[in-house]
Chain A
Amino acid sequence: MMELLLGPGIVAGLVKMGVVLAGVMTLVSAMVLGERKVAGWIQDRVGPNRAGPWGLLQPLADGIKFIFKEDIVPSAAYRPIYLMAPALSLTTALTTFAVVPFADRFVVSGISVAPIIADLDVGLLWIFAVASLGVYGIVLAGWSSRNKYSLMGGLRSAAQMISYELSMTLGVVGVLMAAGSLRLADIVNAQSTTVWNVVSQPVGFLVFMTSAYAETNRLPFDLPEAEPELVAGYHTEYSGMPFLMFYMAEYANVILSSAMMVLLFFGGWHGPIVDRIAAGVSPAAAAALHAGVFFLKLSFFLFLYIWIRWTLPRFRYDQLMRLGWKVMLPLGLANVVWTAALILGGWI
Chain B
Amino acid sequence: MSPRELVFWADAIVAVMTAGTVILHRNPVVCALALVLHLCSVAFFFLLLDASFLFAVQIILYAGAIMVLFLFVIMLLDPAGEGVAGRVGKIQLGATILGAGLLLAATAKLVPLLPGGHGQPGSPLPAGFGQVGAVGRLIFTDYLFPFEVASILLLVAMIGALYMGKREIE
Contact = CB atoms under 8 A, between A and B. Distances in A.
A123 B132 CA distance: 12
B144 interface: no
B68 A162 contact: yes
A122 B53 contact: yes
Contacts of A162: 65, 68
9 smallest A-B Cβ distances: which pairs? A132-B64, A125-B56, A129-B59, A6-B3, A122-B52, A129-B60, A122-B56, A143-B75, A129-B56
Main secondary structure on B side of the interface with A: helix
B14 interface: no
16 contacts: A2-B47, A6-B4, A78-B27, A78-B80, A81-B29, A121-B132, A122-B132, A125-B57, A132-B63, A132-B65, A133-B36, A135-B64, A135-B68, A143-B29, A155-B76, A182-B132
Interface in B37-84: 40, 47-48, 50, 52-53, 55-57, 59-60, 63-65, 68, 71-72, 75-76, 80
Interface in A70-95: 78, 80-81
Given A1-B47, A133-B64, A139 B7 contact: no
A5 B72 contact: no
Interface of A: 1-2, 5-6, 78, 80-81, 120-122, 125-126, 128-130, 132-133, 135-136, 139-140, 143-144, 151, 155, 158, 162, 182
Nearest to B55: A122
A1 B50 contact: yes
Interface of A is mostly: helix
A80 B30 CA distance: 10
A2 B27 contact: no
Q: Which of A78, A129, A143 has the most CB of B within 10 A?
A: A129
Contacts of B27: 78
B131 interface: yes
Contacts of A133: 36, 40, 59, 63-64
A125 B33 CA distance: 22
A128 B36 contact: no
Contacts of B80: 78
Q: How extensive is the interface on chain B, given as a class?
A: 20 to 34
Interface string B1-28: 0011001000000000000000000010
Given A121-B52, A136-B36, A128 B60 contact: yes
A136 B71 contact: yes
Given A125-B56, A129-B56, A155 B72 contact: yes
Contacts of B30: 80-81
A132 B52 CA distance: 17
A139 B68 contact: yes
B29 A78 contact: yes
A126 B46 CA distance: 14
Contacts of A120: 52
Contact of A139 (B4, B60, B71): B71
Which of A5, A81, A136 has the largest number of chain B CB atoms within 10 A? A136
B7 A6 contact: yes
